[in-house]
Structure 1
Amino acid sequence: MEQTVYIRLRHRLQTRPNATIFLKDIAQLIADENMYEQLKELKIYEVSEKDRNMIVIDIMRVIRLMTMTIPNTEIQTVGPSQIIVEVVAKKRKVSLPLFILVWLLLFFGAALTIMNFHEDVSMRAVQQRIYTIMTGEIDANPLIFQIPYSFGLGLGMILFFNHLFKKRLNEEPSPLEVEMFNYQMDLDNYISIHENKESMRQVDDH
């Protein structure tokens, strides 16, 4: 009697160079306990130097290895048909001078961007006009508007990005996180198609 195994590939996996990838690393399994213990240690891939930093493992390769290990087994797949394996080398220590340089570039770049925007929309003239309308007086530097506006600008950026240093204000993702997620999904789709040797065949392939 055939036994059924349900398998769901993970979307992405990080591993080290020259590592051995087992089935338990790349997929979730539902199977008989004895079969599960045998399958979870099934060797799927051996990372080598030629693999560089991105590997795509196709579900068909996984099924082929599973049926070779346990014949007469019905395999039901759920979810994605391939997994992206990212080979990550050991992290290098962050250079303090480089960190300071990047921080300064971002800080002054953002400051110049905000100042140029305010100059384009004549923010100072608008605040002067509002002050004159409300008080009947002319003031070249209406600090009663400029100071709260400056604090409000910083608070608005904190609320927009939903972060205060490393602390998240709530569970809702920020627009920047959504855009980064969309970019990562597009990148993963590109890698899945162009790096998956099983999904593309050239004219000269045999």
Structure 2
Amino acid sequence: MQNNLYMRLKKYVYIKPPQAITVRDVAFLTGPEELVSSCNQIIVQHQTKAADKIRVIEALTIIQIIQQYFPNVDIQLLGPNQCIIHKSKKKQTSKLMLVLLVWLLLFIGSAMAIMNFHYDVSMQSVQQRLHYLITGEEAEFPLWLQIPYSIGLGLGMVLFFNYLFKKRLNDEPSPMEIEMYKYQQDIDQYVQYYENPLNQKSNDKS
């Protein structure tokens, strides 16, 4: 009797070497309960300390390994065809001096960018002209315009990035998170092709 087994690979996993990588680590299975329990224990690879930081496991490889133990199982693949395995690193405590240095560089860089922008567009003269058009009086420093403008500039950046310190303002992703997601997608596509053993074999033959 042929049993049906449905498999969906995880997009990426973090494994701490040395560790035996089982089907449970890299895929979700559904089907007969006893069959799923047995297949989840099958070892796919051994992650050693000398292994690459990033490795790719093909769904075809996992199917072949499972069918060595259960030749009568019909495996239906759902979702992605590869699983990216990252070697997990030990968590390092952040160094205070390094954090302060990075913060200082970002602060100076952003301040210079804002000041150069305002200098290029002659923001002070624009505010002086606006003050004259509204009040009919000339003022070198129209603070009633400059102070709200400065506060609004900071609040606008907070609303744009959707974060106030560690607190998210709403459930929508920020533009930075979207760009980081796109960047991670590009990295995953690159790794799935160039770190895939099957692709390496085909390139060697050609």
Shorter-chain TM-score tier: over 0.9
| 2:25 alignment counterpart | 25
Distance 1:184 1:204, change over 3 A: closer
Partner of 1:14: 14
Q: 5 Å matches for 1:1-206?
A: 1-201=1-201, 204-205=204-205
Matched-pair contact (CA < 8 Å) for 1:9–1:27? yes
Comparing 147-156 with 89-98, which one deviates more in the overlay?
Answer: 89-98
RMSD: 1.4
Give the TM-score, by structure 1 length.
Answer: 0.96
Any idea what the Cα deviations from partners look like across 1:152-204, whole Å, max 9, x if unmatched?
01100011001111111111111111111001000100000000011233565
Secondary structure at 2:93 match in 1: coil
SS, match of residue 199 in structure 2: coil
Structure 1: gaps spanning 5 or more residues: none
Aligned residues: 206
8 A contact 1:17–1:89 mirrored in 2: no
Q: Distance in 2 between matches of 1:69 and 1:203?
A: 30
C-alpha spacing 1:141/1:59, structure 2 compared with 1 (3 Å): same
Question: Displacement of 1:25 after TM fit?
Answer: 1.3
TM normalised by structure 2 equals 0.96
| Moved >2 Å (runs of 4+) | 49-52, 199-206
SS at match of 1:199: helix
> Residue 4 of structure 1 contacts residue 73 of structure 1 at CA under 8 Å; is this kept in 2?
yes
Unaligned ranges ≥5, structure 2:
none
AA in 2 matched with 1:116: N
Q: Which moved further from structure 2: 72-81 or 40-49? A: 40-49
